[in-house]
Amino acid sequence: MIEVQGLRKTFKTVTALDGIEFEARDGEITGLIGPNGAGKTTALRILYTVMRPDEGAARIDGFDTVTAHLWMRRVLMRKKRQGNTRRTW
């Protein structure tokens, strides 16, 4: 499950994310939709551990993408190499 709570991210004077919240449950298809500049890519970069939020939390299966970022990267890379889209951790 993916949980996003109160994510905020700014770049100088531009606010890319302003407290977004959503939940994506296992086995369900979830999409992020919005206009250009709405923060979709920024949100995904935070989930992929490429970027850190200014505030808020993003968790995948209970693991925080900031505090457990090294572990998350290992899992994501292993899944990418295996071509596996099913949860294996």
C-alpha 88/C-alpha 60 separation (Å) is: 13
Cβ partners under 8 Å of residue 36, min gap 6 = none
What CATH number does the domain containing 34 carry?
3.40.50.300
Domain count, the chain: 1
Please give the residue that has the higher pLDDT: either 74 or 33.
33
Range of the domain at 30: 2-82
C-alpha 79/C-alpha 88 separation (Å) is: 8
Position 88 pLDDT exceeds 70: no
φ/ψ of 76, rounded to 5, equals: -60, -40
Residue 11 located in a structural domain: yes
Residues 37-74 have pLDDT tens digits of 899 999 999 998 999 999 999 998 888 999 988 888 88
> Which amino acid would we find at residue 73?
R
Strand partners, 57: 5
pTM for the full model? 0.80
Residue 89 located in a structural domain: no
Residue 87 located in a structural domain: no
Residue 34 located in a structural domain: yes
Q: What is the mean pLDDT of residues 23-47?
A: 92
Let me know: does 6 contact 17? Beta carbons within 8 Å.
no
**What is the model's pLDDT at position 87?**
56
Residue 88 located in a structural domain: no
